[in-house]
A and B are shown apart, each in its own frame.
Chain A
Amino acid sequence: MFGNQQYNIINSPLEQFEVTSLLGLNAPILGYLNISLTNLALYSLLVLFIIVSLHYMANNDTKLVPSKWSIALESVFASINSMVREQLGKELYLPFIYSLFFFILIANLTGNIPYSFTITTSIMVSIGLSFTILIAVTILGLSIHKLHFFSYFVPSGTPLALVPLLVLIELVSYLARAFSLGIRLFANMVAGHTLMKILATFLYQMFSGSLIVAVLTLIPFTLFLAIMGLELAVSFIQAYVFVILTCSYIKDAIELH
């Protein structure tokens, strides 16, 4: 009985998303101070370290002939730069968009390493990011257009009788962005990681059976490898989608439709 319970707890596919304290400081000062280095904090620092070291390694010392690393980074820079220029018209927001892309991308990719933690599977991080972006975009729109910003909620050419209804619909759709942006990232990452954990558990049990079963398990194992490839693709796609939607929200705030 006890053995079964322990077995279930260890193999829960959602266990990998648990935030646990690795190092803690509890002190009865300033009210009650509690600072913990959680696994999420460790991985976010790791993501920062990886991005900075990746850029440092790819630093070409302004040599004109680029290295392999700098070709990769320069092409990422060129594509994000052109995306920002096309959508927003100026490069003011490029550092934020570029950093956001790398933060989400490296966070997703480090999460694909077995037994690691993915920052973006935390609902607070992903929805916190999207909420912050929406609040910032609203403040940006208000500061540029002042009260005229609210014309965003009334599409041009709307009959007066329909205005109350349309304002309500537009307002709900505007506020839903705050959730949809974060939930899209969070749900994709959680679903992928849960699926991989469940499949890996099955495969482990089948591989540790008899020799014939283990050999036959190579067939579903190839499918599992394909799903791992899909997860890698999802890591890139989700980072790109998050960034491109952030760009279009900023564009909406600047241009008002």
Chain B
Amino acid sequence: MPQLIPFYFINQLSFSFLTLLALIYIISKYFLPLFTFQQVIRMYITKLNNK
């Protein structure tokens, strides 16, 4: 199996982990707050309508 050739093991690990770390940072910093903000706005409007 070509997956067991150890020549690029460190390369594979470092690139995939750096990508995942960057992804976690970008998503938690920029995109997830938007989702939460949108949900909060909708809840607020629903409450206003109920009143």
> Given A38-B15, A62-B38 in contact, is the A51-B8 Cβ separation under 8 Å?
no
Contact yes or no, A40 B24, CB < 8 A: no
Contact yes or no, B24 A36, CB < 8 A: no
Q: Could you give, for residues 16-38 of chain B, a 1 whenever the CB lies within 8 Å of some chain A CB and a 0 otherwise?
A: 11011011101110111011011
A95 contact from B3, B5, B16, B24, Cβ within 8 A: B24
Give chain A nearest CB distance to B33 CB in angstroms.
10
Contact yes or no, B37 A19, CB < 8 A: no
| Complex: A119 Cα to B38 Cα, angstroms | 33
> Given A47-B19, A52-B26, A98-B32 in contact, is the A15-B12 Cβ separation under 8 Å?
no
Q: CB within 8 Å of B: which of A1-35?
A: 14-15, 17-19, 21
Is B11 engaged at the interface, CB distance under 8 Å to the other chain? Answer: yes
B45: chain A residues at CB < 8 Å are 64
Contact yes or no, B11 A41, CB < 8 A: yes
Contact yes or no, B23 A40, CB < 8 A: no
Is A184 engaged at the interface, CB distance under 8 Å to the other chain? Answer: no
Contact yes or no, B2 A17, CB < 8 A: yes
Q: Residues of B within 8 Å of A, CB-based: how many? A: 31
Q: Residues of A within 8 Å of B, CB-based: how many? A: 43
A98: chain B residues at CB < 8 Å are 27, 32
| Complex: A45 Cα to B12 Cα, angstroms | 12
Contact yes or no, A40 B8, CB < 8 A: yes
| Complex: A99 Cα to B1 Cα, angstroms | 29
> Given A55-B27, A55-B31 in contact, is the A125-B12 Cβ separation under 8 Å?
yes
The chain B residue with its CB closest to the CB of A59 is B34
| Complex: A222 Cα to B19 Cα, angstroms | 37
Is B13 engaged at the interface, CB distance under 8 Å to the other chain? Answer: yes
Q: Could you give, for residues 45-56 of chain A, a 1 whenever the CB lies within 8 Å of some chain B CB and a 0 otherwise?
A: 101100110010
A-B contact pairs, 13 of them (CB 8 A): A15-B2, A40-B15, A44-B15, A48-B19, A60-B38, A73-B35, A77-B32, A102-B23, A123-B3, A123-B4, A124-B13, A128-B16, A190-B3
B interface, CB within 8 angstroms of A? 1-5, 8-9, 11-13, 15-17, 19-20, 22-24, 26-28, 30-32, 34-35, 37-38, 41-42, 45
